[in-house]
Amino acid sequence: MNVVVLYLALLFGGVVCFVLYYVAQYRVATLLRQRHPQQWKIIAEPEEGSRSAVRIWMRLQLVLRTARPRLPELLQDAAITRWYRVWRWALWLAWACWFAALYLQWRAR
């Protein structure tokens, strides 16, 4: 019975972390748009072509994943830095929960 509860908790934890990953990304984008409109303009407006939600999302991903030094540290905004850290670690935790649940399922056979 304890293994079943642990298995379900790991699955639920994985789902929560995946949702938190996207919420954190949304919060970073919202805070950038509100507090740093010039930097957001660089992300949101492409050099060529049309502006679309998918392109903005892809450019935000690029900025969050490859900026050295990291964008939140450059902006010195505590709220953006907090959400950035949540965004960075939530996906790793989600996959860890799901792999642990898969391991429990494999061991149960």
pLDDT of residue 48: 77
63's CB contacts (< 8 A; 6+ apart) are 43, 71
pLDDT of residue 69: 62
pLDDT of residue 105: 92
pLDDT of residue 67: 61
User: Is the bond preceding residue 69 a cis peptide, omega within 30 degrees?
Assistant: yes
Spatial separation of the C-alpha atoms in residues 46 and 51, rounded to whole Å:
7
In the predicted model, residues of the chain with pLDDT beneath 70 are 67-74
pLDDT of residue 47: 77
